[in-house]
Amino acid sequence: MAGESPSQAVPETVETALADRLVEGRVCLEAGAGVGNATAGLLAAGAERVYAVTDDPDHAATVRDRCDDATDRLVVVEADLRQTPLRPDSVDLVTAHGLCNLLDPAALAAVAAELSRVATAGCHLVVDDYEPLPESAAVRDLFAVENAASELATGRSALTFYPASLLRRLFTGHGWTFDRETTLLDPVPWTASHLSAHAGVVTDATEDLPPELGDPLERRAERLAEAIGEEFAGTMYSVAMTRREGDETP
């Protein structure tokens, strides 16, 4: 995964989501660092320090490689987001860019509580994710196969698309106040590259399954990715919230 890097440009989705937040001089937490898109955006916007938290060693290495010119401001933390080593009241800005759809409801509840625990009073939160896809979207079939493979392999779904309104209410319950919602992408471009990555998740999940169960799912995912090719469907949103002063996590 290291070496060949993705486009180093900070995606416009991240730039747009951060545009109205104060980043300069702030201690930031990217929850679920992925390939470091939001981390790169936070560093570019002048964050004092970025904790890039991920439980995936490959992602951790990718983020370190990508942002190796900012090592004095970047701390890649390999940890479970439900229980991070960060102190309470230590983070001024939390980003969860494309994270929540990877969390099943139980994990989402635990992560929301943990992010609220580490947030300072007045901390900003930026949650960027996808609205549930319209029924007409062909990629839903691929994601259904992905969920089936994951359920069989781990007992958990791989993808859950939470409406913005639901995440907003969840965090309100943890003492956050709603600031704004912005549409980042409309429609969302599910490119051949994305579909291939999702089919790859199916392949990984089916490795632990008996062939008679896993092989048909793997073939189905590959066929769907090829048949769909590329699809524009659904929307990606950004919700921004602020942690109320003096509020305790329930």
Partner 1 sequence: METRPLGATGQESTVATFGAIALNWLEQEGANQMVEHVLDHGVNHFDVAPTYGDAELKLGPKLRQHREDIFLGCKTQERDYEGAAHKLERSLDRLGVDTIDLYQIHGLEYESELDEITGDDGALAAIREAKDDGKVDHVGLTSHGNPGLIRDAIDRIDDLETLMFPLNPVVAGKDDDEHDYEAVLERAEEEDIGTLGIKAFAKGSWPPTSDLPEKDRPYANWYEPVDTPEEIRDRFDFAASQGLSTVVTPGDPKLVSMVLDAAGRYDGMDEATQRSLVEQSRHDDSPVPEQLHH
Compute φ and ψ for 75, nearest 5 degrees. Answer: -120, 110
Q: Is 115 in the site for partner 1 (CB under 8 A)?
A: no
CA 8 to each of CA 36, 65, 68, 125: distance values in angstroms, whole numbers, following the listed order = 10, 11, 12, 24
- Calpha distance 74→64 (Å, rounded): 8
Interface with partner 1, residue 19, by CB under 8 A: no
Q: How far is the CB of 60 from partner 1 (least distance, A)?
A: 13
DSSP β-ladder status, 91-97 and 119-130: parallel
Least CB distance to partner 1 at residue 201 (A): 7
Q: Does 191 bind partner 1 (CB under 8 A)?
A: yes
For residue 187, the minimal CB distance to partner 1 (Å) is 6
For partner 1, the binding residue among 198, 221, 239, 240 (CB under 8 A) is 198
In angstroms, the CA 58 to CA 6 distance is 14
Q: Which of residues 51-80 bind partner 1 (CB under 8 A)?
A: 62
Is residue 233 within the footprint of partner 1 (CB under 8 A)? Answer: no
Number of residues that bind partner 1 (CB under 8 A): 38
Those residues with Cβ within 8 angstroms of residue 71's Cβ, 6 or more apart along the chain or in another chain? 64
Binding site for partner 1 (CB under 8 A): 1, 4, 6-13, 16, 34-35, 37, 62, 97-98, 102, 183-189, 191-194, 196-198, 200-201, 230, 232, 235-236
